[in-house]
Structure 1
Amino acid sequence: MSLLSELLNKFKETFDTAPDVVASSPGRLDFLNTHQDYKGLPVVSVGVNLRTYIAIKIVNGDEVSIVSYNLKEEGSPFQDIFRLSDLKLREGKWFGNYLRAGLIAYREKGIKLPGMYVGILSSVPVGGGLASSAALLVSFLGAVAYALNLSVSRKEIAELAYHAEHDIMGIPCGRLDQYGSAYGKVIRIETRPPYNVEEINFREGVFVVLDSGIKHSTADIHPKRQAEIDEGLRILMRMPEIPLSLKEKLGEHYYEPRWEEITMNEITPFLAKIPKVSAKRIEFTLRMNSSTELALKIMRGLEVSPSEIKNVLPSHFHKEVDIAFKERGKEKILRLIGIIMNYQHELLRDLYDLSLPELEAIRNSALSSGAYGVKLSGAGLGGSLIALTRDRKTAEEVLRRGLSAGAKRGWIVEI
């Protein structure tokens, strides 16, 4: 039975009626330019074939009744009932707060909300690095829009979901998750206004998600890295020897520089004069972004020369680049993207200090099993790794070996 059919059956059993609408949104992979969205740099998301489904029935009155069938199956608290006349977030961590925040976001836009029955069923694993909360919010906001015949675009849904999670719930996220779930496929998301989205026509390879089972907190990691960048930027801005042409592109806070206009050549002489940790974080930002733009060029199907790639990647990747260029078509593209994924993992590990021995053991097993590239996904210091493979057979071996190496859970996903 499909997930959709299962949801429809469960909804009828719970509420003794059929829903008016059903909407769904995919989970997403944090593919390229990880830890860059809060700096205003573009990020690349991959929507995958795991989805969250939301069914809604509009009812008289102002009562909202929500049932999560996943939580019910787990034996956890699974129902949230409240009145719209008393719409507010509950104290502590509560699954219903995501939907409550979504309704608050709609109300702030002047939308008159009716009572409703809501059923949730999802194949997007919670805490697996696939943005389950964004898939929940986006599918719910979309379902409400359909049920109320609201004219809202995918971009508006993504912005509402971001506002609900970031501003109303106070979760320190960027826009990657919400846009990735709202658009699906492979997209390049600009994280400065007007938040343009470019859909990339790329559907090659099979991905494996390997969940280390090590819990991490975005709320702990992001503010620390941001403060480390700020410390270095403040010192740089006060250096009289820095040319005005560079200083005009900098700023005192991590979100102020025009990062995409700054080159390593022009800033390297001054990085030695600031704390080493701050220098590493700034170098990470520049190198991560330049390698992302290179990967996007390859994924768009544009011509890229070996020398162009070698100018971006360090020398220990050059032999692999030469091997990739001996291939043709899909094989060449997947190998090149895999090489850039591996480079970005090294940046996350060595310049952003976000890996752990347990993560490296899982990653090494995936690479030795035939994965082209394996990198951290999400905040780091735990969470998940994503691996790019040629086909499903290879993906199955990567998953098997990853689980043997310490991953607690894993999934094979496609775009």
Structure 2
Amino acid sequence: MKKKLIRSTSEHFEKILQKTPDYIFLSPGRINIIGEHIDYNDGFVMPAAINKYICFAVSKNEDSRCMLIAKDLNETYEFDLKDELKPVDKMWANYILGVLHHLKNKGSIMGGFDVVFSSTIPMGAGLSSSAALECGIGYAMNALFDLGLTKEEIALIGQKAEHTFAGVNCGIMDQFASVFGKKNSVIKLDCTTLEYKYYKADFKKYSLLLLDSNVKHTHLTSGYNVRRQEVELGLAIIKQHFPEVRTFRNCTENMVLELKDVLGETVFRRCQFVVKEIQRVLDAAEALSNSDFKTLGRLMSETHQGLSKDYEVSCDEIDFLVDAVSSEKSVLGARMMGGGFGGCSINLIEKGAENELIERVSKQYRDAFGIQLKPYKIKISKGTTLYKE
């Protein structure tokens, strides 16, 4: 699959541009085992890069003109790097333009280039194709123009691009996972300090299975930004009553319960979810260290209930997929993954039980919603890399 992606991207580059690329990069999508919607709430998250990639074939050209070729979309966008870069109506181009804009602001000296990219990361499945696009182009610029950027700088510039050119006020998790991913390891990331620790992700007789609902409800961005406002308001109220609280990390469940009436029903539930989820990540890290997969699965399922009932970022289709496996002996845990309102469920399942489960749940899902499910068996892979033959 990976080799096929690299070959088809390179061949497309040669066909369109009549030259061979200087470099090939692979930038992965990501999953998040646990720790949802707390990367912007000073929490910890547990992401991992996966074996689904955007492949970039890239080379310098002789002037300041740039050509971006999205092979899968059959679309091209051209611009001059000397011009002021602004968001355009092609959303995919904005992720790249945003990175270039922030590199220019940083004083990075770049010239014109041509890039063709193609992807095996399913769009809209909550696997962070946007972060892979941002980090891949950051890596490409770093190599082409010898910018001397660190991995951390590339991740932070990707995040900034998402904020300013795509209008999504995301946390750092997606870009960090895309850059720092390590084969067969999950990352426990402190989203405040960017300190991180790898945990071995040897699931022994279990594997990770994604079930893509094939729906993406349009209120993802608006819902996401509203949740951020709600928890920021909640934290401000908590700080007024408990001056020792700096972030949700040193806020306890009892504090939130005590302020239930002051916070109001909605903001209370949002804050309660955040405080509980921060603790669940710490518990999950311990469970992984001890190869205690039953506890890990239970925590994943608890996260889903919180996301669905308290944070209200799930949807009927994803709730259905999680409920459909809840009584399966072969499934230790399942939850919604990503920003919400569609996308995938992530399932911790016994190896060998996947195909039977996929068949049964696909039929139930099709009967209930008239939608074809897409299953993805995934492996944990390394982060963005220069491909060497």
Normalized against structure 2, the TM-score is what?
Answer: 0.87
The residue aligned with 1:335 is: 294
Matching residue of 2:212: 211
Q: Name 2:128's counterpart in structure 1.
A: 131
Task: Describe the shift of the 1:273–1:147 C-alpha distance in structure 2 as closer, same or farther (beyond 3 A).
Answer: closer
Q: How far apart are 1:235 and its partner, in Å?
A: 4.8
- 2:357 is the alignment partner of 1:398: yes
Matches within 5 A, 1:227-266: 227-233=229-235, 235-236=237-238, 242=241, 246-249=242-245, 257-266=246-255
**C-alpha deviation, 1:234, in angstroms:** 5.0
Tell me the CA shift for residue 379 of structure 1. Answer: 2.0
Matches of 1:247 and 1:261, distance apart in 2:
11
Rounded to whole Å, the distance in 1 between the matches of 2:232 and 2:161 is 27
User: Would you say the 8 A contact 1:365–1:398 is kept in 2?
Assistant: no
Shift of 1:371: 2.2
- Rounded to whole Å, the distance in 1 between the matches of 2:142 and 2:239 is 47
Task: Say yes or no: does 1:350 pair with 2:309.
Answer: yes
Q: Does 1:383 align with 2:380?
A: no
The letter for the 1-side match of 2:260 is L
Asked if 2 retains the 8 angstrom alpha-carbon contact of 1:208 and 1:398, the reply is: no
Distance 1:90 1:270 in 2: 42
Report if aligned partners of 1:202, 1:300 keep a CA contact under 8 Å in 2: no
The 1-side partners of 2:111 and 2:229 are apart by: 43
Counterparts of 1:17 and 1:102 in 2: how far apart (Å)? 25
**1:150–1:337: structure 2 CA closer, same or farther, 3 Å change rule?**
same
Query: Is residue 214–residue 343 contact of structure 2 (8 Å, CA) maintained in 1?
Result: yes
What is the CA-CA distance between 1:343 and the residue it aligns to? 0.9
Distance 2:236 2:136 in 1: 41
State the Cα distance separating 1:127 from its structure 2 match: 0.8
The aligned residue for residue 25 of structure 1 is 27
Q: 1:221 maps to what in 2?
A: 223
Question: Highest Rg: 1 or 2?
Answer: 1
The equivalent residue for 2:61 is 59
2:268 is the counterpart of 1:271: no
Cα pair distance change 1:89/1:126, threshold 3 Å: farther
Match of 1:299 in 2: 288
Task: State the SS of the aligned residue for 1:135.
Answer: helix
Q: Relative to structure 2, which stretch is displaced further, 367-376 or 281-290?
A: 367-376
Contact 2:208/2:347 (8 A) holds in 1: yes
Matched residues in 2 for 1:28 and 1:221: separation?
A: 21
| Contact 1:371–1:388, Cα closer than 8 Å, also in 2 | yes
Q: Structure 1 residues 399, 144: CA separation in 2 closer, same or farther (over 3 Å shift)?
A: farther
Contact 2:26–2:136 (CA<8 Å) still a contact in 1? yes
More strand by share: 2
The equivalent residue for 1:372 is: 332
Distance 1:231 1:114 in 2: 44
How far the C-alpha of 1:390 sits from its partner, in A, is 2.5
Unaligned runs of 5+ in 1: 73-77, 250-256, 302-329
Identity of aligned residues (%): 24
Deviations 1:115-139 (A, max 9, x none): 1110101111111110001111111
CA distance in 1, matches of 2:82, 2:165: 18
Give the gaps of 5 or more residues in structure 2. Answer: 366-371, 381-389
Larger RCO, structure (CA 8 Å, separation 6 or more): 2
Which residue, out of 47, 50, 56, partners 1:45?
A: 47
Distance 1:271 1:80, change over 3 A: same
Q: How many Å separate the matches in 2 of 1:350 and 1:279?
A: 12
**1:46 positional shift:** 1.7
Matched with 2:194 is 195
* Preserved CA contact (<8 Å) 1:56 1:144: no
> What is the one-letter code of the residue matched to 1:290?
Q
Counterpart Cα distance in 2 of 1:224 and 1:124: 27
Paired residues of 1:87 and 1:100 also in contact (CA < 8 A):
no
- Cα distance change, pair 65–227 in 1 and its aligned pair in 2 (3 A): closer
- Greater CA drift, 116-125 or 163-172: 163-172
Aligned counterpart, 1:112: 109
Structure 2 letter corresponding to 1:40: D
User: Cα RMSD over matched residues?
Assistant: 2.1
The 1-side partners of 2:239 and 2:113 are apart by 54
- Kept in 2: contact 1:399–1:411 (CA 8 A): no
Give the C-alpha shift of residue 360 in structure 1: 2.1
Task: Give the CA deviation at 1:269.
Answer: 2.9
Which one is further off, 365-374 or 108-117?
Answer: 365-374
- The Cα shift of 1:92 comes to 2.6
- For normalisation by structure 1, the TM-score amounts to 0.82
Change in CA separation of 1:337 and 1:11 when aligned onto 2, cut-off 3 Å: same
Is the CA contact (8 Å cut-off) linking 1:221 and 1:379 kept in structure 2? Answer: no
Partner of 1:414: 379
Which residue does the alignment assign to 1:151?
148
What SS class does the counterpart of residue 353 from structure 2 fall into?
Answer: helix
